[in-house]
Structure 1
Amino acid sequence: MSETHYPDLTRDISRQLAGFRQNQKGTMQGFGAMAAASMADGALSEKHKELIATAIAVSQRCAGCIGFHVKALIRLGTTRAEFEEMLGVAVYMGGGPSLMYCAEALQAWEQFAPTSVASA
């Protein structure tokens, strides 16, 4: 498992991209609009969509994506059981490399979740 501190990682990524957001407004506004539209409640809830996004982040081995999506799952009230069940599917679909990033996602969960939620 890495020494990544996910709250710092997500904050640093946001900070690093601030200038890019200013210089590439059209691209970033388009990306933001796509994100908002794709994550909005519909036939699937926002929480279900964040679970899917996190599974993809694990299978693609993207630490930044893991951080942002786990943070969203905590905000949406995801339980540890729901989170771990999603990780099981991610490992099933991605094999050994996804299992290694499953540990990263669990680390992010523990760093973002309040103590009472982390063990539930």
Structure 2
Amino acid sequence: MSTFEHSNLIQNINANLAPLRKAQPDAMAAFGQLARAAMAEGAISARNKELMALAIGITQHCSGCIGFHVKALIKLGCSKQELEEMLSVCVYMGGGPALMYTAEALAAFDAMSVPA
């Protein structure tokens, strides 16, 4: 489990991907369009889709995914109770390793929920 600050992690990832966005603009734009299409409001709400994406990020042990999807969930008005219920499913399905990243997601939620 990581012990870093997720807002900085998100900024670093974006900065590190900037050269790839310039070198491969079509591929990176296509990935962005895929993300927007997949996460758009539909029969399943955008918030529920973000909860699913965060669950996958946790069970795949992806700290960057945790940062980006927690940030999106906060923007979408996700409550701590909704997050905690989803996290319990992550632990159920992913066991101990998911529990470690669940702690990371909770810390990120608390840190990013604080007004800047």
TM range, smaller chain:
over 0.9
Cα displacement string for residues 31-86 of structure 1 (whole angstroms, at most 9, x for unaligned residues): 01100000000110110000000000100000000000000000000000000001
Unaligned runs of 5+ in 2: none
Aligned partner of 2:80 in structure 1 is: 80
Query: Residue 45 of structure 1 aligns to which amino acid in structure 2?
Result: S
Report the Cα offset of residue 3 of structure 1. 2.4
Q: How many residues in Structure 1 have an aligned counterpart in Structure 2?
A: 115
Report the Cα offset of residue 105 of structure 1. 0.5
Aligned partner of 2:91 in structure 1 is: 91
* Aligned counterparts, 1:2-81, within 5 A: 2-81=2-81
User: Runs (4+) of structure 1 moved beyond 4 Å?
Assistant: none
Q: Distance in 1 between matches of 2:57 and 2:92?
A: 14
* Identical counterparts, % of pairs: 52
Q: Distance in 1 between matches of 2:2 and 2:51?
A: 22
Aligned partner of 2:111 in structure 1 is: 111
Cα displacement string for residues 2-54 of structure 1 (whole angstroms, at most 9, x for unaligned residues): 32100000011001101111111111011011000000001101100000000
Report the Cα offset of residue 110 of structure 1. 1.2
Q: Distance in 2 between matches of 1:96 and 1:113?
A: 26
Unaligned runs of 5+ in 1: 116-120
Q: TM-score, normalised by structure 1?
A: 0.92
CA-atom RMSD in angstroms: 1.1
Q: Distance in 2 between matches of 1:2 and 1:38?
A: 28
